[in-house]
């Protein structure tokens, strides 16, 4: 299979694409792959580190208010379609996949114009503007949350696959990684984590709780984010923290430590949910209210509705309330087991293989159609 993949802007668009590529490589189904992104996007760093063939187009996102900036954006979009067409003609893919972010709009739309099979993958419970636009033109729309199906008119194109990131971590087992942080693997541990850059409101609340957490029978792994680490250390310097609390700026290969945890407190991005559900890790979500269409709240609510997670809105977040919920989960084994079991029911351990099956059928169908012409 020769495949072009495009997605960028956030890790939520990039990591599922990367997981798909890796699974294609594992199954020896990949003849050639090209990732198309932007020079300034996060995808440039992540994809080139993986030594995957990478090319760029110049494009930017629309602003919600009318402005000259949007006129420039429209001009860039039109010119980027021409660049994308040239890339596609040169690479000659069997299929083109978009995983979200404005960069994928030009690439997938250009593939549609060139009559190349196309698929988009929507990771969230709220469809992004790019995927809503592309939904009119692509052959298939893969999704991970059932709620999002109401936002696409093209019902015949919809196919549930789950998030490819889930399959990438599905086989992870507890491996005593907690010892790396001088914590005891046999003691229940909660990780408080605001994302790769950290989240100031979550950090502030965690700091408020630390004096009380120091007297709990469970352990706490507080991941501040690189940006906030020094400030947090200064704020807690005078606290008499016990050995059951460890504060770190970041954890490399974060998913590998998830099976060792009894509870995770953090944001509710699509990638995090895919990892937590497939591993059956109980969670307390504090959705970011600053993302487009408040999609993290809707992501989290879909799990809360299935009794697969708990949630606190950021505007309602206090140290007392979060501490009470953490205590509730970690002192009630029945609740822990219920959350873990219900979360695991929502996980999709074969998500990448499902997506690959859709791609193979697209290619086969298109090849058959060409053979009849």
Distance CA 175, CA 65 (A): 50
186 is in an annotated binding site: no
269 is in an annotated binding site: no
| Residue recorded with tokens 């469970």 | 218
277 is in an annotated binding site: no
12 is in an annotated binding site: yes
189 pairs with which residues across the strands? 219
251 is in an annotated binding site: yes
296 is in an annotated binding site: yes
Would strands 263-266 and 189-193 be described as parallel, antiparallel, or unpaired? parallel
- Contacts of residue 225, Cβ cutoff 8 Å, sequence gap at least 6: 194, 195, 196, 197, 198, 199, 203, 249, 250
Would strands 283-285 and 310-311 be described as parallel, antiparallel, or unpaired? parallel
Nearest CA among 312, 368, 348 for reference residue 169: 348
**DSSP output for 102-161:** HHHHHHHHHHHHTT--EEEEE-SSS--HHHHHHTTT-SEEEES-GGGGGG-S-GGGEEE-
| Residue recorded with tokens 């074969």 | 350
244 is in an annotated binding site: no
Which residues are documented as binding site? 10-12, 124, 196, 251, 296
Which residues are documented as binding site for UDP-N-acetyl-alpha-D-glucosamine? 10-12, 124, 196, 251, 296
């Amino acid at each position: 299979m020769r495949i072009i993949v495009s997605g960028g802007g956030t890790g939520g668009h990039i990591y599922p694409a990367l997981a798909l590529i890796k699974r294609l490589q594992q199954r020896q189904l990949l003849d050639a792959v090209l990732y198309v992104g932007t020079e300034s996007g996060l995808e440039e760093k992540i994809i080139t580190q993986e030594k995957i063939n990478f090319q760029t187009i110049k494009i930017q996102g629309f602003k919600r208010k009318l402005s000259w900036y949007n006129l420039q954006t429209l001009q860039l979009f039109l010119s980027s379609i021409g660049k994308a067409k040239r890339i596609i003609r040169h690479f000659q893919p069997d299929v083109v996949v978009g995983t979200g972010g404005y960069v994928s709009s030009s690439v997938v739309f250009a593939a549609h114009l060139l009559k190349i099979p196309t698929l988009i993958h929507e990771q969230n419970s709220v469809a992004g503007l790019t995927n809503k636009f592309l939904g009119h033109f692509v052959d298939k729309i893969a999704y991970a949350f059932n709620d999002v199906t109401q936002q696409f008119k093209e019902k015949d194109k919809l196919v549930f696959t789950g998030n490819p990131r889930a399959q990438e971590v599905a086989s992870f087992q507890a491996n005593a990684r907690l010892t790396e942080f001088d914590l005891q693997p046999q003691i229940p541990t909660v990780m408080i984590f605001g994302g790769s850059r950290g989240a100031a409101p979550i950090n502030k609340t965690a700091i408020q709780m630390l004096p009380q957490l120091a007297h709990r029978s469970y352990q706490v792994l507080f991941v501040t984010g690189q940006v906030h680490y020094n400030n947090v250390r200064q704020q807690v310097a005078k606290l008499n923290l016990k050995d059951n609390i460890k504060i770190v700026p970041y954890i490399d290969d974060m998913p590998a430590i998830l099976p060792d945890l009894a509870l995770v407190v953090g944001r509710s991005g699509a990638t995090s949910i895919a990892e937590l559900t497939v591993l059956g890790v109980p969670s307390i979500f504090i959705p970011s209210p600053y993302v487009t269409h408040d999609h993290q709240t809707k992501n989290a609510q879909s799990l809360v509705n299935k009794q697969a997670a708990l949630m606190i809105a950021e505007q309602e977040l206090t140290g007392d309330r979060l501490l009470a919920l953490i205590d509730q989960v970690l002192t009630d084994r029945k609740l822990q087991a219920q959350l873990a079991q219900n979360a695991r029911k929502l996980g999709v351990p074969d998500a990448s293989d499902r997506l690959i099956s859709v791609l193979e059928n697209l290619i086969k169908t298109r090849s058959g159609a060409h053979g009849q012409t």
